[in-house]
Chains A and B, each alone.
Chain A
């Protein structure tokens, strides 16, 4: 037997679209064999003019599975009228007949509308919760845009992040609004003795497919940037974990569905697995065992332990500022690097070797270097980096468009140097010792390192 699978993105109210689609497929020689949540299986048969019809059953399991006695009773009525049960999907019951002029499954539009309304009443809580969750994420995103736009736009996943939750919000809200509109139109039509209104399948499918393509493209773009930023490892961890989580939930649901477990059992197992995965994820995240760190350039084996030494872009070391590290590695640093279509940034901090190796309080040097690719973000970055508190000063060493001076939250002197597309925030007690030559070398690096 030859089978073909098709991805079907119908929504619960699209019964007329389902009927048309299945009849069209049957005319081409493909008959619906089995429904999945998204993938539907079609069986190769001789082309035939079959009529498919959908009726709703509010008590049916959204997971499908074996028919309940009540559904079997409905199937018996349908069989007496010449209809054969084919499959169920969500709470739709799909029937087929080869009769030319069959008695429709539903002959009372008012009754049909009541049934559809009952089905949607069952989905209402889930739908509203999803809208609320998506709205919460959109609001959080808006707050982040307002308060930490710089960090948000620096993320390689900036575009997917900016698009994903608004997409979910759009889809859930659009679905809810179209349902409300369909209900209103159907009620008016039925009151006048007409049929239920046709669904908005074409409109909603066009909108959703368009939005889905956009988000997928943005996700791919985000992954590509993450790979370029050196965060590819952590990203693939994330993708892998998501795939495992989905498999852990979907495989048992599929297995139970195939064996005809009832909706309550499947839902309980799903909740149990989801909670279990959530607990494991929280424990793993707390343990940080799933986070892939940025690898240092080399490791320094000290008396008290092993320390990562990172390579940093700017040609400035603590030794250059007059600090003696007595032959120990010049400095250690913790580095973060991110790149997005909007901006790229490096955050690094130099410090002397650990106190056990070199006793006494040692000076530190820290910096954040930013390259702005999207000019409208330049002022946003400058504002965030200066905390809005630094004052403009004249400092000829940097040959910059502007230099701001101030202090970090712990009182460490800080300088924000602004070039045409680049920004550099430097903070150290040793800044006054910086020479014009060192500043010039740093400037050259800041402008060319990204290339």
Chain B
């Protein structure tokens, strides 16, 4: 069965929202994500454009008055809540990992 869209955030969605804690245009978002992840996460321009439009529709980001021809965006409270929810989910995953792996490491002589 197909997974519902935005049920979980992909790495790229997560980092785009994270970088939009500050007001940025699309090109700045790409650079910021690359810098933040040390180049581990790269966002394709086509994907970025589509995701920004999706986030606008979801109300997770809002468009700010344009400077010149560049559209600028910023995270909304709803977007921040969704980002925190995702971070919590990831923390829980990591916690479960630590719990299980930690136990097995203790048992290992």
- Chain B residue nearest to A69 (CB atoms) is B69
Q: Mark B35-69, 1 if CB is under 8 A from A, else 0.
A: 00000001111111111001000000000000001
- Chain A residue nearest to B49 (CB atoms) is A74
A420 at the interface (CB under 8 A from B): no
B94 at the interface (CB under 8 A from A): no
Chain A residues positioned under 8 Å from B26 (CB to CB): 73, 76-77
Complex partner residue of A80 from B5, B27, B69, CB under 8 angstroms? B27
Among A76, A77, A93, A103: residue with most chain B CB under 10 A? A77
Q: Return B49 CB to nearest CB of chain A, in Å.
A: 5
- Chain B residue nearest to A115 (CB atoms) is B50
Known contacts A74-B49, A80-B45: A107-B3 contact under CB 8 Å: no
Interface size on A, residues (CB 8 A): 26
Among B5, B27, B44, B69: residue with most chain A CB under 10 A? B44
A364 at the interface (CB under 8 A from B): no
B12 at the interface (CB under 8 A from A): yes
Known contacts A73-B71, A80-B30: A105-B3 contact under CB 8 Å: no
Q: Return A59 CB to nearest CB of chain B, in Å.
A: 10
Q: Mark A97-133, 1 if CB is under 8 A from B, else 0.
A: 0000001111110111011000000000000000000
A107 near B44 with CB under 8 A, answer yes
B104 at the interface (CB under 8 A from A): no
A187 at the interface (CB under 8 A from B): yes
B100 at the interface (CB under 8 A from A): no
Q: Mark B1-36, 1 if CB is under 8 A from A, else 0.
A: 011010000101000000000000011001100000
A107 near B47 with CB under 8 A, answer yes
Q: Return A340 CB to nearest CB of chain B, in Å.
A: 53
Q: Mark A51-86, 1 if CB is under 8 A from B, else 0.
A: 000011000000000000100111011101101000
Q: Return A444 CB to nearest CB of chain B, in Å.
A: 76
Chain B residues positioned under 8 Å from A104 (CB to CB): 44
B69 near A77 with CB under 8 A, answer no
Complex partner residue of A103 from B5, B42, B49, B50, CB under 8 angstroms? B42
A191 at the interface (CB under 8 A from B): yes
Chain A residues positioned under 8 Å from B31 (CB to CB): 80
In the docked arrangement, what's the CA distance between A69 and B71, Å? 10
In the docked arrangement, what's the CA distance between A81 and B34, Å? 11
In the docked arrangement, what's the CA distance between A390 and B53, Å? 74
Q: Return A330 CB to nearest CB of chain B, in Å.
A: 80
A107 near B43 with CB under 8 A, answer yes
Complex partner residue of A81 from B2, B45, B54, B69, CB under 8 angstroms? B45
Chain B residues positioned under 8 Å from A115 (CB to CB): 46, 50
Known contacts A73-B26, A76-B27, A77-B30: A191-B3 contact under CB 8 Å: yes
A81 near B50 with CB under 8 A, answer no
In the docked arrangement, what's the CA distance between A106 and B44, Å? 5
A81 near B30 with CB under 8 A, answer yes
Q: Return B44 CB to nearest CB of chain A, in Å.
A: 4
A107 near B50 with CB under 8 A, answer no
Known contacts A72-B69, A107-B42: A77-B27 contact under CB 8 Å: yes
Among B26, B31, B45, B70: residue with most chain A CB under 10 A? B45
A187 near B2 with CB under 8 A, answer yes
B50 near A105 with CB under 8 A, answer no
Chain A residues numbered 162-212 whose CB sits less than 8 Å from any CB in chain B: 187, 191
B30 near A74 with CB under 8 A, answer no
A74 near B46 with CB under 8 A, answer yes
- Chain B residue nearest to A107 (CB atoms) is B44
Q: Return A163 CB to nearest CB of chain B, in Å.
A: 41
Chain A residues positioned under 8 Å from B49 (CB to CB): 73-74, 77
Chain A residues positioned under 8 Å from B12 (CB to CB): 107-108
A-B contact pairs, 12 of them (CB 8 A): A72-B69, A77-B27, A77-B49, A78-B45, A78-B46, A80-B27, A81-B44, A103-B43, A105-B45, A108-B47, A111-B50, A115-B46
Besides A69-B69, A76-B70, A107-B44, 9 new A-B residue pairs in contact (Cβ under 8 A), listed by A number: A73-B71, A74-B46, A77-B45, A80-B31, A83-B45, A105-B44, A105-B47, A106-B47, A111-B51
